[in-house]
Amino acid sequence: MKNYILLFFCVLFQYTQAQETISGKVVDKNNKPLEFALISWKDTEIGAEADAQGNFTLEFVPDAILQVSYVGFELMEISTFPNKENLIITLKSEQALDELVIKTTRKSTTRSHTSNTNTMTMNSAELLKAACCNLAESFETNPAIDVNFSDAISGSKQIKMLGLTSPYILIAEENIPTVRGASQAYGLSFVPGTWVESIQVTKGAGSVVNGFESISGQINTELIKPANDIPFYLNLFGSTDSRFEVNTHLNHKLNDKWSSTLFVHGNARVSKNDMNHDGFLDNPLGSQINVMNRWQYIDQENGLVAFLSARYMKDEKQTGEVDFDKKRDKGTTNLWGSEINTEKFDANAKIGYVFPDMPFQSIGWQNSFSYHNQKSYFGLNEYNISQRSFYSNLIFSSIISNTLHKFSTGLNFVYDNYGEDVFNYTAQNYDRTDNSVGAFFEYTYDNADNFALVLGGRVDNSNRLGLFVTPRLHLRYNPWEDAVIRASVGRGKRIANIFAENQYLFASSRQFNINYADGKAYHMDPEIAWNYGVSFSQGFHFLGKKAEIGFDFYRTDFQNQIVVDLDQSARTVDFYNLDGKSYANSFQVDLSYNLAKHLNLRAAYKYYDIKTTYKSGNLERPLQAKNRVFVNLEYQTHETDKGGSWKFDATWNWLGKQRLPYTGDNLAQNQLGQNTNPFSTINAQVTKIFSDRFEIYVGGENMTNYQQNRVILGADDPFGSNFDSTMIYAPIFGQMYYAGLRFKIK
């Protein structure tokens, strides 16, 4: 008996050995596995089912026809087998099922594997996740950008990229640099979020086409194009901190070539809030009216596109002590108060021409004029700045022999006329005119497979920066599927507008000291920095769901910087040329994962090492968390036939400890420690979409109700030497809840 069994096993063993198999994978034309597809030999009983990844193994039958079938796909018959392993069988979808609409939800923030720069594109769906309402507040759900807490004076949020503040980021609107010079501090809050179609956030050195000023990165916003706009849009918003907003868009298409949209935005904060009972408002009272008219011309046959726009904006803010009355108390020491009033007008024209028989060749010309006028006072400090600017950029793009070798070249011209009056202990005037003319050339090689290189350079001649060269280099390599390695190097140069960029410091008793060094920018030198970066990202599937992990490291090395030193004394802020080292290292790991159908997770950890040689030695940049964690969860219910659904979104931010500037020469009760405590905040939002025309949303900010315990030093004596309202490292206002609606006519 035993022998029989043994024999049986031997035979079986031999049989399995001798049996030839065929194995492979069934996919659709996008290489997506077709799980549980059926594979069988025609006219036989031999068949198998693919597994959840579309993989199958089947006994090989010589001279038979292999049939592969899957619901919704054409039956495929294969009779020749060049090899029998790792077959990839691509099924074609059945034509009869054409009317079946397959919707895939596009991620609201995307990072392309074929883009040559480390760019994240946020579309309008991502922008809707933020509580409110302007560009400064749009980055709350984007890990590449850190949003600081709004200070009590301006009420606007400041952003940082790679640990560096917004002056080091080139912020452009449709590739025309906009938030610069006088508008550096509040410019982002002058662009209503509903006007924005998408935002591209690029880390590291940017393209030379847009200028020489970018150091840590670029943010470009694309506004809604009249040709694609809907006839009517209305958005209303109100929040528990008594802020109200109205946005309406009216679009009209005159004919198949001309279309126009009128954008109207208004916002107001009407009631006084003092949640921490320090006698000062937590956020300013204010109002803004912002109107833009935009025209688009398209002539597809002749390859012409043109945009014309004009915009007017008036923004008023008042803050300070709760009982401050601007008519009675301005310019006195009765009560401390502040007003920031800004008026802005701009007009621009853009024209693009694509050569009809050469789609790879085009000419673009952008011209923009803007006028900006800010009048403000902070207690007894006064700050008035006006800026008249003209910007012109001409770009010619074409190829060298074929489209694997592309280039863009052109010229640009920038003119800025500033009127700047400062009263800080003494009256000072810094009126000036800057102009620069430059030529750029950018070459792109893309092997249409896995490697690309962008090499750019520009030469500029500026009345205050002299003649100089700006080189930039980007590399992309896809070593294997779903993986991308990028590297970038670039140099940036700029004039620091020290008062405009640091005007929040006027809301303190500090005296502004400029250390004269015979330079041309406030007697100091221009800022010059090199930025180097590498990044790697890999898409993969984990437990059958899509995931992506990314790592990036950037270093910004300043050759010269205008050091803003708050550590000499709590009485002064010192500005001087860098004498030593200044660098910003940033490391980020981020993970996005589709946890379940319609449920997405995005998480990031960021580490910053930012040090500068101050007069008192090498110190960490103040008010900068070394460690930050970001987690965002989004969920959307399945869309009904009418297009209705629920959307849920929550963001958790954790900030590690931050170094505080020196306060040792204040009275004991006005001294702060060395560091802040770590803390976290939660923002969440729920949107009910009734149809593609109407939706309402409610949400909360800072739902953990974390509040900075002492916001204003020397609040009891605002005209005394200890007064300082600029040490903001955490939310001032506690929990904030809001609600709004969106109505569209399509």
Partner 1 sequence: MKNLVLVFLALVGFAFTSNAQEKKKKNAKHDIEVLGNCDMCKKRIEKAAYAIKGVKSAEWHSEDQTLHVIIDENKTSTTVICEAVAKVGHDTGEVRATDEDYAALHTCCVYERKAE
> Interface with partner 1 by CB under 8 A: which residues?
24, 27, 29, 31, 82-83, 86-88, 90, 355, 357-361, 363, 365, 392, 394, 396, 398-399, 401-404, 410-411, 413, 415, 435, 437, 439, 448-449
Nearer to partner 1, 72 or 231 (CB): 72
Q: How many residues does the chain have?
A: 746
The phi and psi torsions of 326 (rounded to 5 degrees) equal: -65, -30
Q: Which residue's CB is nearer to partner 1, number 7 or number 88?
A: 88
Helices then strands, each counted (H, E), the chain: 4, 43
Helix (H, G, I), strand (E, B) or coil at 444: strand
Q: Which is nearer to partner 1, 123 or 417 (CB)?
A: 417
Residue 368 C-beta: closest distance to partner 1, Å: 15
- Closer residue to partner 1 in complex, CB, 333/403: 403
Residue with smaller CB distance to partner 1, 261 or 412: 412
Write down the least CB distance from residue 87 to partner 1, Å.
5
Q: How far is CA 99 from CA 72, 104, 105, 230, 428, in A?
A: 12, 15, 18, 25, 71
CB contact at 8 A, 476 and 697: no
CA pseudo-torsion sign 506, 507, 513, 519: negative
Closest separation in Å from C-beta 520 to partner 1: 17
Cβ 157 to partner 1 shortest distance, Å: 37
Are 414 and 435 contacting, i.e. CB atoms less than 8 angstroms apart?
A: yes
Coil vs helix vs strand at 8 = helix
Q: In this structure, what token pair is assigned to residue 351?
A: 């024209």
To partner 1, the closest distance from the beta carbon of 540 in angstroms equals: 18
Give least dist CB 441 to partner 1, A.
Answer: 12
Report, in Å, the least distance between residue 342 CB and partner 1. 27
Nearer to partner 1, 87 or 152 (CB): 87
Burial 715-731 (b: 16+ CB within 10 A, else e): beebeebbbbbbbbbbb
Q: Residue 29 or residue 252: which is nearer to partner 1 going by CB?
A: 29
Nearer to partner 1, 482 or 579 (CB): 482
For 237, the 3-state DSSP assignment is: strand
CA distances to 404, 441, 475, 606 from 445, rounded to whole Å, are: 6, 13, 10, 32
Cβ nearer to partner 1, comparing 413 with 635? 413
Residue with tokens 């398209």: 298
Of 403 and 616, CB closest to partner 1: 403
Shortest separation between residue 212's beta carbon and partner 1, angstroms: 16
Torsion of CA 319, 134, 352, 455, to 10 degrees: 90
- d(C-alpha 376, C-alpha 337), whole Å: 11
Which spans in 247-345 are helix H?
326-329
Q: What separation in angstroms does the CA of 248 have from each of 194, 308, 312?
A: 9, 19, 15
* Number of other CB atoms surrounding residue 467 within 10 Å: 10
709: left (phi over 0), alpha (psi -120 to 50) or beta: alpha
Q: Running DSSP on this structure, what letter comes out for residue 334?
A: S
- Report in angstroms how near the CB of residue 454 gets to partner 1 at its nearest: 19
Query: At its nearest, how many Å lie between partner 1 and the CB of residue 120?
Result: 23
Shortest gap between Cβ of 416 and partner 1 (angstroms)?
12
CB of 396 to partner 1, least distance (A): 6
CA 102 to chain centre: 30
Q: Alpha carbon 618 to chain centroid distance?
A: 31
- 219/199 Cα distance (integer angstroms): 7
Cα–Cα dist 474/443, whole Å: 10
Of 364 and 700, which CB lies nearer to partner 1 in the complex structure? 364
